[in-house]
Amino acid sequence: MDLQALVDAASTRDWDTDPEGTVSLAVVGLGNYARNVSIPAIEGGDYATVGAVVSGDPEKAERVATEHDAAALTYEGYAEGEAVDAYDAAYVATPNRLHLDGIRTAADQGKHVICEKPLEATPERAAAAVDACDDAGVTLMTAYRMQADPVIRALGSFVSAGRIGQPTKAMGEFTFPVLAGSKGPDQWRLDAELAGGGALVDVGVYPLNTARYLLGSDPVAVDATARASEPFGDRPDDPESPRLADEHVHFLAEFPEGTTGEFTASFSGDADSWLELVGESGRIRIENAFVPNGERTVRVSTDAGDVTLSGIGADETVEEFDYFAHCVLTGTPPEPDGRDGLTDVAVMDAVYEAAATGRRTDASRR
């Protein structure tokens, strides 16, 4: 793939075979992201629709259902199979430690699943989610919207074709000032038991997973530091989740073939997100990398020349749901499947262990 081919591929769906039909989704969890980002993306695409909405607040469920001509369910109703014919698959967007319950319910009903990242709060629970869908014979996709972005997919092909040479280093940051909006410190993202951690699991997973995707490989070991000031840092009582709600985390990752990774995630500070990949004969830098539907700028420098990509691509959240629905309609396994999500949960578990012990930690799936 040369530079012109990269530009052409960055605005093309390489997976779309134009299948007939649509996939109706039950949106499980009606937080701000699900209501204001995911549902508009589902309705803005070609292959997915909203068939049901699920919330612990019946009034909210009724209001959102009326807005989108969908069935309204409580979590109890969803678990009991109410309105099960209104949807073909479930989009699980609850707090992280509740993902397994939503996934198991869908799998038991024979429904396919797309689940928000991280797949679950612990490797054990993430593995149970994968097993539940495997046992039921249904598709499980981890909602890594970056992997559906035509720009990122084109860059993955560019790297795998050797256009920047052997990758030597991957670097990235995602800083999201979580208290800067309308929500205070009581939000679930600061509850380490519900979230499975703090900044690392909420925003650090983006540069980690995108780097893994572009490199086509997984970390084998990590070193890390993490810190937190009030109101961050509380540890949960549950001994199965002995993590802190980290405010800042910085970790080094050792990839195969001599590639090193260096990543930072923060819940406070100046908002920013970027990813850079350095190779023996080239470099890729993505600015404003992980903001939903953000105006990204990609700079590619190689021995063959330089190119800057901006104003191309698509809304990656629309692409994510259409890609999932396309996989269901065509019987194609998704690339960011449940095991991809499980790998990230295992790596992040190793990062927390390395931060707690001050020692280099094995990052293979545990």
Class of domain 15-142: alpha beta
Rounded to 5°, the CA angle 119-201-289 comes to: 100
Gyration radius of the chain's alpha carbons: 20
Report the alpha-carbon distance of residue 302 to residue 287 in Å, rounded: 18
Per DSSP, the chain holds a count of helices (H) and strands (E) of 13, 15
Report the alpha-carbon distance of residue 118 to residue 129 in Å, rounded: 12
pLDDT tens, the chain, 366 aa long: 778 888 888 889 999 999 999 999 999 999 999 999 999 999 999 999 999 999 999 999 999 999 999 999 999 999 999 999 999 999 999 999 999 999 999 999 999 999 999 999 999 999 999 999 999 999 999 999 999 999 999 999 999 999 999 999 999 999 999 998 778 888 999 998 899 999 999 999 999 999 999 999 999 999 999 999 888 886 555 555 556 899 999 999 999 989 999 999 999 999 999 999 999 999 999 999 999 988 889 999 999 899 999 877 679 999 999 999 999 999 999 999 999 999 999 999 999 999 999 999 999 755
198 φ/ψ angles, rounded to the nearest 5 degrees = -135, -120
301 contact partners, CB below 8 Å, separation of at least 6: 282, 283, 284
Q: What is the pLDDT of residue 239?
A: 55
pTM of the model: 0.95
Quick one: which H or E segment has residue 348? helix 338-357
What are the sequence ranges of the domains in the chain?
A: 15-142, 146-315+336-362
Q: Are strands 140-142 and 305-310 parallel, antiparallel or unpaired?
A: unpaired
Domain 146-315+336-362 in CATH 3.30.420.40? The answer is: no
